[in-house]
A and B are shown apart, each in its own frame.
Chain A
Amino acid sequence: MATVTFKIYRYKPGAIDPPRYDTFRVEVEDHTTVLDVLETLRLDDLTLTYRHSCHHGSCGTCGMLVNGREVLACVTNVLALKTDEVVVEPLRNAPLVSDLVVDMTPFFEKYEPVGMPYIRRSEYLPEARPPEAVGEYMRFESCLECGLCLSACPVVASDAHYLGPAALAAAARVVQEPRGHDLPAIFQMVDNDEGCWRCHAAMECSSVCPNGVDPGGMIMFLRKMLLTQRR
Chain B
Amino acid sequence: MALRRMWIWQALSGFLLVVLLAVHLVANHFAAGGLLTYQQVVAYLSHPAVLALEILFLATVVFHALAGVRALVLDRGVSRKTARGVTAALVVVGVLLVGYGLWLFAVIVSMT
Contact = CB atoms under 8 A, between A and B. Distances in A.
Contacts of B71: 200
Contacts of A223: 7
A223 B11 CA distance: 12
Nearest to B5: A197
A121 B76 CA distance: 41
Interface residues of A, number: 16
Nearest to B80: A193
A197 B75 contact: no
B3 A193 contact: yes
Contacts of B81: none
B18 interface: no
Interface string A185-220: 000000111010110100000000000000000000
Interface string B60-82: 00000000000100111100100
B3 A158 contact: no
Nearest to A227: B8
B68 to A, nearest CB: 11
B31 to A, nearest CB: 36
What DSSP secondary structure best describes chain B's contact surface?
helix
Contact of A197 (B7, B80, B83): B7
Interface in B1-43: 1-4, 6-8
Contact of B4 (A160, A161, A162, A191): A191
Contacts of B74: 159, 193, 198
Interface in B55-103: 71, 74-77, 80, 83
A114 interface: no
B76 A191 contact: no
A148 interface: no
Contacts of A155: 75
A158 B77 contact: yes
A200 B6 CA distance: 13
B8 A193 contact: no
Contacts of A138: none
A160 B77 contact: yes
Interface string A135-155: 000000000000000000001
Interface string A110-124: 000000000000000
Contact of B1 (A162, A192, A227): A192
B76 A198 contact: no
B8 A161 contact: no
Interface string A152-195: 00010011111000000000000000000000000000011101
5 contacts: A155-B75, A158-B77, A162-B77, A197-B6, A227-B8
Interface of A: 155, 158-162, 191-193, 195, 197-198, 200, 223, 226-227
Q: Nearest 4 A-B pairs (CB), nearest first?
A: A159-B77, A197-B3, A197-B7, A193-B3
Given A158-B77, A193-B80, A197-B7, 8 more contacts: A159-B75, A159-B76, A161-B77, A192-B3, A193-B74, A197-B6, A198-B3, A227-B4
